[in-house]
Structure 1
Amino acid sequence: MHSADTRAVRGRFLDITQPVSQPENIASNIRYIEDGLLLCTAGKITWFGAWNDVNPELLEGITVTHYPDQLITPGFIDTHIHYPQTEMMGAYGEQLLNWLNQYTFPTEIKFKDQAYAHEIADFFVNELIKNGTTTALVFCTVHPESVDALFEVAETKNMRLIAGKVMMDRHAPEELCDTAISSYEESKQLIEKWHERGRALYAITPRFAPTSSHEQLHLAGQLKQEFPTVYVHTHLSENRDEIAWVKSLFPNHTGYLDVYHQYGLTGERSVFAHCVHLDEHEWQCMHDTDSAIAFCPTSNLFLGSGLFPLSKAWQHGVKVGLGTDVGAGTSFSQLQTLGEAYKVQQLQGQQLSAYEAFYHATLGGAKSLHLDHCLGNFNVGKEADFIVIDLKATPLQQLRQRRATNIEESLFALFTLGDDRNIVATYIHGENVYTA
């Protein structure tokens, strides 16, 4: 007998069976089942395979939800996004540093009000789910209330989010500055409250090196030593003016990444957003410490930051996930973000295949978050976060998909033409939390 919370979903399934070290190895690990079945109980996958291989006794007493015309994939994983910036998406005309002062900081001040933070958190989580994103690494604000609000909303969906309070004690408006000591104490309290509570995970979150004093970065490193399973989430080498600023503030370090590294903030659970302008020794440090990069193409284009050299990440064996980076990023949709990622590579004379793009948005993203043991594909035992995609959600897509001769072509058309309209349903921990 199955338990009451067993779910069965039938349809066309696509995933990648294992992490890879080079992009040319992805195709041989693609698993496409034209007619398959997924069973999950208590949020975990208990059986997965072809419909023809199903023992009828396996389905006794279970209602099978069938999506015969759609494509079912693992949920998308967003490795860098700012929930407080949701309301300021599309803010005009500035590059990074001016953009922060003119738009970001005034918006984030409002999140000291927990009711307001909860309102935006609710909108944000629903927008993620509507776009097929089931896991995200999220910036909050300097206010502990902003963290509580986000985790409380995510908890109602049983959603795996990683988030943390911004640590920022200088070079920002007074209303947004904490102190080295208060940031340490508040972060510690939040870690003890939220880290590994249900599916919540915590990230130590210095905004970026210029807004943290030496003392604050030291205490951030101390937190990481005290709580070795928490994450580190920050920005790195996004903008050339930013890099020059870091060098002027930290003249005794060999570069931007060295600031974080010397304070003990690199490592297998450390995710650095952007990394557009890394030096060779920084690429080597990223590899040696098993740190990860969040590639944020829409944001990098919108702020004029530069073109991320994805091929170098592969060459140096550095983990990469995909980030929408809302609100400098202009869409919650990983489909639209992948379309921009392709263009960023084209501008550098590089190609991004449909399978590689899919890897970064699913299993590769899970690996970059040190979660590929529990997320990213349909292997038995993993958490049942998955989405149902309509490849023909618009008349143009219907026309385009008629010409696709295989699943790879269909996938590429989806990534270049798709958006939230393609998401038919989103399942989190085995439960349907969104239906279009």
Structure 2
Amino acid sequence: MTEPQSVPMPGQVWGLAAPDTGGPIFVTSYDGKNLSTTVLTAVDVAGEVLWRREFDGHPGRPRVSTSGSVWVAHRGPTGAVLTELDAAGSTVRSITPEHEPFERLGSFVVLPDGICASWLPAERNRPVPAGRHARIARHGEDGSVRWSTPAVLDQLSFPGCIEISAETSWEARPSKPWAPQTIEAHHWEPLLIAGHRIAATFADGRSGIAVTFFLDTTTGRLIAASPPGPSHHKAIVGPGEFLIGSQGYGAFSTAQYDSSGTVVQEWPTHAMLLIDRHGAISGPESENTTPSRSRFVGLEPDGTMRRGPALSGYYTTYPALDHHGTAVFWRDGRLLAVDADFQMRELFALEDEKRAVMSKIMLLDQERVAFALHDELFILQSTGLGTLDNSVWPCADGGLHGNPVTHQ
């Protein structure tokens, strides 16, 4: 493998996506230290910057449509705007989804006939006024609302939770219901669509305790909601079915929910999950503990675990799975590969690498691997890895498009 190519980005990277394994790679980032400007950069797989576009507003993840165009969310004169650009960087269209002036866009995904979005009832870090709630909405191609369903975070509680007292100091309290003062779209996989079901996750901005709401994709009917808990990484596991991981406040587990919103299996671990084309589930464990106790693990159908190699360090890119069953990820300054037999090898290392802000891993054509560390995009050639596995969840966001939607 040759030395990786480093492509400087304008600021801290927020997301990567691509239309296919041949690129281009679409990168969203800050504009230097300007936290209120989004820069969208297109980079070819050889590492050449093709074009850049700037938008007003905090960056989010880019979403690529089935036609290969890229969508970004940004701020417009009357609120949130979604803009579609082609591979050459020309604007195809901009739409303003119907929403109230006080609402903030939480997350969105692109559908063949419009978008689905989660909306927050107040600006970032602002208290939620009484009577306002988060919601999930499906919008047509012109931004009009087809349906809208409230997501009510009324009373939350979780054993061992730590909440902020009235004096704003941290205080451990017994499990006791409280009403969220601020509501956020969940940081990890906030909006997933698996065919006829939507999983939308909202969190209390102070404690991180979250609830996932399961809805019918066509009608918006609320099917069920998960119990409040310290939700973390999630994945689509099949038609209408999701994996939801929990980590923190003593929790360390993963649950599989079916299309009725019922838990049908649980595992005593939390990981950045990968699902291969045969339905096997695996990934590097993710735990807020140092020194590391994490391993690469497999989640067996009967609820047991297969424990693989130990993992040093802490910060980890979301892995990607190639068609040979090899998972690749960056952790502790090393690009690691774990094969289908759970044998781990090092592909590349950077000395004294301490950067904590990381993107997902992307597997591209001709054995290329791409990922970002803080404000640098790295492209590695001739890694010996195969193409991305053809499965429902072979990497973060369910694929190169960065658009966690399946149509089964």
Q: TM-score, normalised by structure 2?
A: 0.31
More helix by share: 1
Q: TM-score, normalised by structure 1?
A: 0.30
Higher relative contact order (CA 8 A, sep 6+): 1
